[in-house]
Amino acid sequence: MDLAGILEKAENDERLTREELLFLLDFPSDAMEVYTIMARSNRLSKSLSGHKAEVHAQFALNIAPCGCDCKFCSFSTLNSVFDKRWEISFDEAVQNAELLETNGANAIFVMTTAHYAFGRFLEISGEIRKHLKSETVLIANVGDQTLENAVKLKEAGYQGVYHALRLREGTDTNIDPGQRKKSIRHFQEAGLSVGTCVEPVGPEHSSGEIADMILFTASFLPAFSGAARRITIPGSPLESYGMISEMRMAQIVAVTRLGMPHAVKGNCTHEPCSLGAIAGANLFWAEMGANPRDVKENTEDGRGGTVAHCRKLFEESDWKVLTGPSMFYAGENFTKDI
């Protein structure tokens, strides 16, 4: 296969085939070609996002053991990391959201475990919305939802959601993949913009599985796609696989960008790193409170980074960072300048 021809196709907004994605994914991560793939993804990503990266910030409303039992998640009952339940108060939720707004996050994500009471989520969301500037972008990161509930999220002031069909959904999780897909449709039908990602990638995932997931995320024109590696939860059933390197993750981030339609401006990675940024990631997350990749109750004491840290990583990678509300969730169009 011809690398130059594939890269040109991607730059011309032509869809790459599964075989072409596999070709890009199958280079060893330290091959010369991977540096070329990352550089071209970086240029395309900058061009499509007006050279501006974004930092979104997430905080959690609760910690609870979750029976969906995703093997990669610290909330999962089978990983026995958190055996107690707690929820933050309305006041704490408002304070967290206000702090992240003050710190300059381009969008604020409110996260819960899958079975958090939906009525309470709407009430607390109303309180948060009331205290934020009207232009602040609010995003829900919650479990699967009916169309009716998706409409309620929109009415509560959410501009979008984060929702992903995870790699090996239904095998490494107790959730029917069809249910995840149905929820994505519900969110979009309700007028919510959906951000997504190829995640959580581990060494056990073949290039074929990754390519299929890139194509799936491209199929519904999300606000952003991207790629994130699985973080090992000690004692989890996936621990023995280990983790992929940041370099391999950067390669997948780059290939994901090249596989996305240009209408999709955002390309995320998590956890934030400069290798991801130079490979074309233009979206990182800061985190507060509980975090499914962390064993600390407050991820600020563990793996979670701040908005300032994420901005710094982008700046060190020669990205500018957007100030103001997220353009990815606004579906803002930029002119290509490659």
Q: Which of 70, 93, 233, 277 touches ligand SF4 by CB under 6 A?
A: 70
Backbone angles phi, psi at 80, to 5 degrees: 45, 40
Among 266, 183, 288, 258, smallest CA distance to 16 is for 258
CB of 11 or CB of 87, closer to ligand SF4: 87
Query: CB of 152: closest distance to ligand SF4 in angstroms?
Result: 20
Stretches 68-76, 90-98, 283-291, 326-334: which one binds ligand SF4 (CB under 6 A)?
68-76
Torsion sign, CA atoms 309, 267, 130, 60: negative
Q: Which of 24, 55, 73, 161 touches ligand SF4 by CB under 6 A?
A: 73
How far, in Å, are 21, 98, 142, 179 from residue 63 at the CA level? 38, 21, 13, 23
Q: Which of 22, 66, 94, 260 touches ligand SF4 by CB under 6 A?
A: 66
Burial classification of residue 57, based on how many CB atoms lie within 10 Å of its CB (0-12 exposed, 13-18 middle, 19 or more buried) = buried
Q: Which long-range contacts (CB under 8 A, 24 or more apart) does 308-314 make?
A: 308/103, 309/272, 310/55, 310/272, 310/284, 310/285, 310/286, 311/55, 311/104, 313/272, 313/273, 313/274, 313/277, 313/284, 314/53, 314/55, 314/277, 314/284
Query: CB of 83: closest distance to ligand SF4 in angstroms?
Result: 14
292 contributes a contact to ligand SF4 by CB under 6 A: yes
114 contributes a contact to ligand SF4 by CB under 6 A: yes
Q: Write the binding mask 172 to 211 for ligand SF4: x where contact by CB under 6 A, - elsewhere.
A: -x--------------------------------------
Query: CB of 76: closest distance to ligand SF4 in angstroms?
Result: 4
Contact 62, 90 (CB under 8 A): no
Q: Write the binding mask 137 to 156 for ligand SF4: x where contact by CB under 6 A, - elsewhere.
A: ------x-------------
In this structure, what DSSP letter does residue 76 have? B
113 contributes a contact to ligand SF4 by CB under 6 A: yes
Query: CB of 65: closest distance to ligand SF4 in angstroms?
Result: 9
CB atoms inside a 10 Å sphere around CB 292: 22
CB of 246 or CB of 294, closer to ligand SF4: 294
Query: CB of 47: closest distance to ligand SF4 in angstroms?
Result: 34
Contact 73, 233 (CB under 8 A): yes
Torsion sign, CA atoms 11, 56, 270, 207: negative
Query: CB of 156: closest distance to ligand SF4 in angstroms?
Result: 20
Q: In what helix (H) or strand (E) does residue 181 lie, and over which residues does it extend?
A: helix 177-189
Stretches 72-80, 120-128, 211-219, 326-334: which one binds ligand SF4 (CB under 6 A)?
72-80
Q: Which of 23, 59, 75, 82 touches ligand SF4 by CB under 6 A?
A: 75
Interaction site with ligand SF4 (CB under 6 A): 66, 68-70, 73, 75-76, 113-114, 143, 173, 292
